[in-house]
Amino acid sequence: MSSKLGEKLVVAISSRALFDLTESHEIYEKQGIRAYSEYQIENEDKPLLPGAAFPIVKKLLKLNENNHERPVVEVVLLSRNSADTGLRIFNSIQHYQLDITRAAFSSGRSPYRYVSAFASHLFLSTDPTDVRAALDDGFAAATILPKQGNQSDASQELRFAFDGDAVIFSDESEKIYKKQGLQAFTDNERAAADTPLAGGPFKNFLAALHRLQRDYSPENCPIRTALVTARSAPAHERVIKTLREWNIRIDEALFLGGMPKGQFLRSFGADVFFDDQTSHCDDAAVHVATGHVPHGVANDSSEEQK
């Protein structure tokens, strides 16, 4: 993906994902845009509290500290605020000393269309509609859910965990499982072990992370990735060979055979986990920040949409 921001990893983030705007959003919902605008202007010198994606953004930007001459990450802000009400957001960015200088304020309209303009590799938002639109346009995107509880994370590594089917890979195999059951899925994956899976919405983001990782030795890399999937043997072989075909390294692979993922994600120390199924996301969010990826067959029914 070409980018006017060079070879950087570009992450677009909504203001409500970066900061906790719950109070002001309630004012907007109950009293309207005028009351919301007045509230934000009156409080524009009062820093907002961190939101669900704030810790992830801090670690992403920290990657630039040892690369002053060639920053490797760019975080851009996408917001439904106007430039006027968005001043509080920029003041909060300055308060927390976040190196975020580029932003799009869309005054109430969806800002997702600027995901493409910034050539973003990833879009994090709290708005499922915007996330779906970005996914439909071919970009990695997720609705961010905060980690429950106050578990501290002293690790300096940035750790990303991904589900496989419908996230890193297409949902072609998951469709077989949904329609025909586990045995048909297993038989298909065994027969197609040497046929690479098609890429899912997060393939390009994972590839961009891998390009950053190649600049470091494996022992000193500040980024670590994990595949955390409900697959088990023999369905694991096709996944491994697909990643090999793509020439993408994954640091850890957990084939859980349907076991709940939350405890494993906590053991891995994931800063964020991406999954297409809401049940997996709800379990994971007890332990780590989680991004729901509303993509693929698991999100076709209204019961699965969130």
The DSSP line for 121-174 is SEEEES-HHHHHHHHHTT-EEEEEEPPSS-------SEEEEE-TBTTTB-SHHH
Q: Position 276: which residue type? A: D
**What is the DSSP code (8-state) at residue 292?**
E
The DSSP line for 170-232 is -SHHHHHHHHH-HHHHHHHHHHTTTSPPPB-TTHHHHHHHHHHHTTS-TTT-SEEEEEEES--
Residue given tokens 């891995």 in the structure block: 268
Which residue in the list 163, 165, 276, 283 is annotated as catalytic? Answer: 163
Compute CA distances 118 → 73, 103, 113, 115, 208, whole Å.
13, 10, 9, 6, 15
Q: What are phi and psi of 226, to 5 degrees?
A: -145, 140
Q: How many whole angstroms separate alpha carbon 58 and alpha carbon 61?
A: 5
Gyration radius from the chain CA atoms: 20
Q: Which of 64, 204, 59 has the alpha carbon at shortest distance from 123?
A: 204
Token pair listed for 281:
């996301």
Q: Are 256 and 232 in contact, with CB atoms under 8 Å apart?
A: yes
194 a catalytic residue: no
Report, as residue numbers or ranges, the catalytic residues: 163
